[in-house]
Amino acid sequence: MSKVSIIGAYNTQFGSFVKKDKETRQVTDLKSINELSYEAIRGALKDAGVEGSDIDAIWVGTCAPGLFANQEHMGALAVDADPGLRYKPSTRCENACASSSVALYDAIYAVEAGRCKTALVLGVEKMNLLDTKGVTHALATCSHWDSEGANGMTFPGLFAEYAKGYQAHYGISDDQLKKMLAYVSALGYANGVENPLAHFGVGGPSDKLKLFSAEAILNLPDEKNPLIAPPLRLHDCSLVTDGAAALVITTTDNARAISNRVVEIAGIGHANERFAIKDRDNMYEMIAGKIARDKAFKEAGITIADVNLAEVHDCFTINQILCTEALGLSEDGRAGYDYIDGRFTRDDVCPVNISGGLKAKGHPVGATGASMHTLIYKQLVGEPIGVKPTKGQPEIGVTLNVGGSSATNCVSVLRRLK
C-alpha cells in the first residue's frame, strides 16, 4: 500500500461575501461558489507546483450546495477550474461538516489502491446567500430529520444537549460551565484576529469588542451575547461562512521526487456514531471520536504526546472541549479546567485551533475539513498562516473534524517529512 502525502494546499479568504439590502431583501453575490472553488483549486495547484494535467482525479467535499447556492453536481463544476482538468474523473462527497475530510479520505484510498498517483481535493461552501431561517433549515437537514429537524431541533439545540449532558455527568455548576466556554471562545478570537484569512479577523466584531479574554465575554450584556439554546450563547456558536480550501496529494515516493514541502498523511481514522442523539447514551463524550483517534494514531505509530499542533471542530464551544478530550489532550471531564488554566495557547506544547478555529476563522461547512488540513500543512512546512507556535517548529499535527451532531468523526495525523 502506497503512503500518501500532501504537496500543496490553499485556503481562500473566509467571510460573508454577499451584499444584502434590508429594505428590498435583495441579495447580491460578491464571490460565488464557482469563484471560491476555482480560486482554491488554482491556488493549490500552484502551491504544489503541478499542472491540472498532472491530476489523475478530483474529489469535492461540500455539504448542501443545492440548498445554500442552488448548485448541485459540484464534481462537474470543479473540472472547469483549469483546462488541464478537463476529462478528469471528479466525484462529490457529502458528510455534513466533515464532507471534505471524507473527500480527502476517498482520494487517499484511490492513491493507496494505485488507481491514481496524484489527486486534487476541494472543500467548499457558500452559505450567506440565505437568511438566518434558510441557513438554519439547510443545516437542520444534516440532523436526523425525523426525530430532530422535523421537530424544530437546530444544531445549537443539539449541541446544547451535549453541554447539558457534560455538565450533569461531571457535576459542573452553571457558572463554571459558562466560564469554561468563555475561555474557549476567547482563545479562538485571540488566535483568529491574527489570521489574515479569518472571517473574524482584524476589524471584525471580536476585534472591535476586544473579546480576547474570558472576562470580556463574560462581561457582555445579554443583548450582546444572548442565549441561543441554553446553556449556549451567541459567542459559543461558530460562524456562517463562505469559503473554500483545496489540497494536492500524491504517493509519498512521488512527493519526495518533486517537492521539498512534503507532509505525509501518516494515519487516518473515520468512525460514525449513531445518527439520532436520542439513541445515544453518551451525551457527555465523543466515543466515535476516540475510536477515530485510536485508528489514526495506531496507523501513524504515535501517541498524543507526539502531537505538536491540533485543529479541532469547535462548531460550538462545548464541542471544542469534547474534541480536546477525545484526542486525549485532556482527561475526560477536565478540558474546561485546562482551558481556564491557560493550556492550548500558542505557548503550549500542543496549541489547539491556532487558526482561530471555526469560532473565528469561520465554518463554511463543506470546506472545514480541507481547511483544517491546509492550515496544519502550512504550519508543518514552516509557512504558517497567522499565529505560529512559540515552542519551536511543529512536526506532527492532528485534525479532528466532525459532521452533524458529531455523528461523523474524522481524525488525521499529518507528519512533516524532511
CB contact set of 388 (below 8 Å; sequence gap of 6+): 346, 354, 379
Give me the catalytic one of 235, 270, 313, 363.
363
CA distance 55 to 48: 11
**Three cell numbers written together for 358:** 471555526
Q: Specify the amino acid at residue 209.
A: L
Q: Is 363 a catalytic residue?
A: yes
Give me the catalytic one of 97, 116, 142, 410.
97
CA distance 258 to 374: 19
The label of the residue with cell 471524507 reads: 102
Q: Is 315 a catalytic residue?
A: no
CB contact set of 128 (below 8 Å; sequence gap of 6+): 16, 17, 18, 135, 240, 241, 242
Reduce the DSSP state of residue 142 to 3 states and report it. coil
Please report which residue ranges of 213-327 form alpha helices under DSSP H. Answer: 214-218, 252-258, 287-300, 317-327
Contact 249, 55 (CB under 8 A): no
Instruction: Report the catalytic residues.
Output: 97, 363
